[in-house]
Structure 1
């Protein structure tokens, strides 16, 4: 089997536009895999909110981000692109960050040029580091991954478009410099119109990565293909859907108590994922038990009371 890094690189190369939705946990990653996606994305916003209950303002550590990425990568059989914020420090820190993400089984990362602590690329208050330092960090990331797995994908992101004192001109300049430093794709965060996106696609001298969220315009996949966008992410639709569903059920539970759960369970059992034990993987566990535990242990399990997945 090809390495996940090689698989992701191949998916991007085959084009014309690889569309990758975001997850925030191993469970949500498995839902995307079940839906048939060929690759997935770990949202930094989703990681921060789901792990800490806090916004995406640089409060999650490298250890927390890598741990979440590891859980996700091990839960699925498709490649994972993950947010690695600013690389968690200067160029020297970035080198270790690449090693950690690669060791976690991630197929690629995107890294931005904000000052630390960073924040979500679609809220106010962003500041970017100097051009020279930003390019140096990309070079460090590329050199570090080339020493381990040259197929590991580096997406270099600039927030210069929306940062204090920034401009689209500066963002395009940085994007091209990042590609020149060895990045695989260039990511200009926060364009605010279709004309800006089209200009990015014309003037960036290499594959363009697009984040379709926040202030940025929405396109169909066909429209992105016509512009030449190589890869697009939708970071948080699953996060929003989960929040909405949990909130609505929580209000029902508060109002009606256990009766609300009974009503919900009746609806859920008819859902494609309604057999929760099967989705969780108990069928596989039972197969492993029959293969490895022996007859005596299986007799004990057979005598226990409870739901046995199909």
Structure 2
């Protein structure tokens, strides 16, 4: 079964799907180990962790696809990838989607911002025309073929153009063939309700960024409104940043980490990345275990 088929099975369940954001292979493996059945990459997190830069469109298509491809290979659960605007016009989107299929992604996010884009909860966003992004969604649907790749259309029009325009764009993107709608950064519970009311039969995404523009609601509350997916894209990144800062501050101040209690054991970390399994494989193919194979006549 393909990753896209697995994701579609999860979407067919009645309950809301809680999806953590990850930005590297280690985080993805930890999310899978914690029991999540699907994970999603955070463009914000990948930009910060690989470049040390904000989510301002600095990542190229090549860099993003390389990162998400490695993450997809590192886990057994479906991966949804944040692919920004698709990195150009409809032709570029088709190339991006074909690469996404080859990498084994389960789903992709395509947003309607102008390039270079910005984080959905930053100020100063600008969007392309409704018609242009609807065309890009149609191109993505064409490019995925029969691969079962799930296409999530995202609109960032709420901030620059208002909620009514964002809803109008959502209707156009669903009509263009998107499987799921993601209206980014609604600013109140009332706006979340309005989105859910406008799309009673469409799978909807809520994006919870701690400290961002969207109200902090529980998955149960969002499901009651009518949302199907809730992303927590930056939760792990923010948590790791706090822990790493505390670790480095103690190491600098005391010269050791003897009193730092937030470390996983070295043995547990080895188990997480598969050291015991690879040691066994290494022994199996070691020189001392070589046995010549007789030539067959």
Q: Shorter-chain-normalised TM-score: which range?
A: over 0.9
Question: Does the 8 A contact of 2:97 with 2:144 survive in 1?
Answer: yes
1:1-310 paired onto structure 2 within 5 Å: 2-146=1-145, 149=147, 151-163=148-160, 166-204=161-199, 206-213=202-209, 214-257=212-255, 259-260=256-257, 262-264=258-260, 268=263, 275-293=268-286, 295-296=288-289
Supply the RMSD in Å over aligned alpha carbons: 1.6
Distance, in Å, in 1 between the alignment partners of 2:52 and 2:162 is 32
Question: Does the 8 A contact of 2:243 with 2:262 survive in 1?
Answer: no
Q: Deviations over 1:53-102 (max 9, x none)?
A: 00001000011111110111011100000100000001110000101112
Q: Deviations over 1:254-298 (max 9, x none)?
A: 1122x23x444x7635x6x8622112211110232344436447x
> What is the total number of aligned residue pairs between the two structures?
287
Distance, in Å, in 1 between the alignment partners of 2:141 and 2:198 is 23
Distance, in Å, in 2 between the alignment partners of 1:199 and 1:294 is 67
Give, in angstroms, the shift of residue 224 of structure 1.
1.5
Q: Deviations over 1:198-229 (max 9, x none)?
A: 11011025211111121001211211221121
Normalising by structure 2, what TM-score?
0.92
Indicate the SS of the match to 1:58: coil
Distance, in Å, in 2 between the alignment partners of 1:68 and 1:82 is 10
Distance, in Å, in 2 between the alignment partners of 1:268 and 1:95 is 44
Distance, in Å, in 2 between the alignment partners of 1:130 and 1:73 is 32
With 228-237 and 9-18 compared, the bigger mean Cα shift is at 9-18
Distance, in Å, in 2 between the alignment partners of 1:52 and 1:128 is 25
Give, in angstroms, the shift of residue 162 of structure 1.
0.7
Q: Deviations over 1:39-58 (max 9, x none)?
A: 00100000000010000010
Distance, in Å, in 2 between the alignment partners of 1:98 and 1:153 is 11
Distance, in Å, in 2 between the alignment partners of 1:175 and 1:135 is 9
* Distance change (3 Å), C-alpha of 1:274 and 1:217: farther
* Distance change (3 Å), C-alpha of 1:288 and 1:112: same
Question: Does the 8 A contact of 1:44 with 1:83 survive in 2?
Answer: yes
Distance, in Å, in 2 between the alignment partners of 1:242 and 1:274 is 20
Normalising by structure 1, what TM-score?
0.89
Indicate the SS of the match to 2:11: helix
Structure 2 unmatched runs, 5+ = 291-297
Give, in angstroms, the shift of residue 24 of structure 1.
0.7
Distance, in Å, in 2 between the alignment partners of 1:136 and 1:290 is 54
Distance, in Å, in 2 between the alignment partners of 1:10 and 1:172 is 27
Structure 1 unmatched runs, 5+ = 298-310
